[in-house]
């Protein structure tokens, strides 16, 4: 049956939009898995067998006994019951199950498109980057989990940040492809690309330091704002050796940098608003971006003051998705790049 070009592009766009929302869900579920300290409950990477949860008491005892061998149980959760273990197990189980589904969904429909649209002039090769990055993300996820199975009671915050950064890279790429297929109108007057790059760079660096902070449980200390327990600088850093690795592994230092980056971002965003308005560009994208920033700042402060309660911390992570997406929309409209489909 003949399918015209517009219908084909619409099918691809629906696939991309579906992946986008699956990735959003994955980031949210991943955040909740971390916030509930569930990420180390499954200590093996079982690509096929792990699709099913434990089906009987023996299976549950087997998974529980493997969990009892890792430092998190030995030093932190030695009093946990089997029923309590089941709760954290299911968080990690559904996180991995969703990851498997996204992996399959990023590959199978694309293979279908390659087969059905092979005689059309629609270029599909660039979408392979999504499938490849999703597979790499799965490897990074296990690389992160593996760091908490032997010598640590939690995962490496560096690997956690890498995992979250990769998720946002994939999310950004998919959203960019969606904008391409949506034939989004570009700006008539351009904002300097260097300003776009600096602001996007700072947003991603802030997300990375947010992941550092989460991985170090840095939201549990210095729960005051704008000061840090009455001081501008944290008062527990006087004995540090000030080498790079130690600084980035010290919760108070990471929290301080996260705060400073927020202030720096605020200054850059104010300047960005000035340039944007000066060029008389459409105000709606800017308003949406500014609202997402204001909400994110509010959620960041509330999360800190609450001692990083799960509800607020989860909303704060969701807020970062809106910040990235709303700014990418502006960045896309500011480009002159065109692609053939």
Q: What is the pLDDT along the chain (341 residues), one digit of tens a residue?
A: 455 677 888 899 999 999 999 999 999 999 999 999 999 999 988 877 778 999 999 999 999 999 999 999 999 999 999 999 999 999 999 999 999 999 999 999 999 888 888 777 778 889 999 999 999 999 999 999 999 998 888 999 999 999 999 999 999 999 999 999 987 788 888 899 999 999 999 999 999 999 999 999 999 999 999 999 999 988 887 776 677 777 888 999 999 999 999 999 999 999 999 999 999 999 999 999 999 999 999 999 999 999 999 999 999 999 999 999 999 999 999 987 554 44
pLDDT at 189 (0 to 100): 81
Helices (H), ranges, the chain? 5-35, 57-67, 71, 82-116, 128-146, 157-181, 193-215, 244-248, 251-278, 283-305, 310-333
DSSP 233: S
Identify whether the C-beta of residue 42 lies closer than 8 Å to the C-beta of residue 197: no
Reduced to 3 states (helix: H, G, I; strand: E, B; else coil), residue 231 is: strand
Which tokens sit at 308?
A: 């990083």
pLDDT at 1 (0 to 100): 46
pLDDT at 133 (0 to 100): 96
Separation of CA 309 from chain center:
19
Which tokens sit at 30?
A: 């991943």
């Amino acid at each position: 049956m003949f399918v015209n070009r517009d219908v084909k592009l619409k099918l691809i766009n629906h696939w991309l939009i579906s992946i986008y929302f699956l990735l959003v869900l994955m980031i949210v579920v991943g955040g909740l898995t971390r916030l509930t300290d569930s990420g180390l409950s499954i200590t093996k990477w079982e690509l096929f067998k792990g699709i099913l949860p434990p089906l009987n008491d023996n299976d549950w005892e087997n998974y529980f006994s493997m969990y009892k061998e890792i430092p998190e149980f030995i030093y932190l959760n030695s009093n946990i019951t089997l029923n309590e273990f089941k709760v954290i197990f299911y968080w990690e189980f559904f996180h991995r199950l969703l990851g498997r589904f996204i992996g399959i969904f990023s590959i199978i429909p694309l293979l279908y498109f390659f087969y059905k649209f092979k005689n059309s002039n629609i270029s599909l090769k660039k979408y392979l980057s999504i499938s490849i990055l999703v597979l790499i993300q799965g490897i990074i996820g296990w690389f992160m989990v593996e760091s908490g199975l032997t010598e640590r009671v939690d995962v490496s915050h560096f690997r956690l940040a890498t995992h979250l950064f990769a998720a946002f890279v994939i999310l950004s790429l998919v959203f960019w492809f969606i904008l391409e297929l949506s034939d989004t109108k570009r700006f008539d007057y351009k904002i300097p690309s260097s300003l776009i790059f600096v602001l996007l760079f700072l947003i991603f660096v802030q997300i990375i330091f947010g992941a550092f902070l989460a991985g170090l449980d840095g939201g549990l200390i210095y729960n005051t704002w704008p000061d840090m327990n009455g001081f501008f600088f944290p008062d527990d850093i006087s004995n540090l050796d000030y080498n790079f690795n130690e600084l980035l592994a010290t919760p108070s230092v990471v929290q301080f940098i996260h705060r400073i980056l927020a202030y720096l971002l605020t200054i850059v965003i104010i300047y960005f608003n000035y340039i944007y308005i000066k060029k008389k560009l459409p105000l709606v994208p800017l308003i949406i971006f500014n609202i997402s920033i204001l909400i994110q700042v509010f959620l960041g402060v509330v999360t800190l003051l609450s001692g990083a309660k799960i509800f607020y911390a989860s909303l704060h992570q969701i807020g970062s998705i809106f910040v990235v997406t709303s700014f990418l929309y502006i960045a896309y409209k500011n480009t002159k790049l065109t692609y053939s489909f």
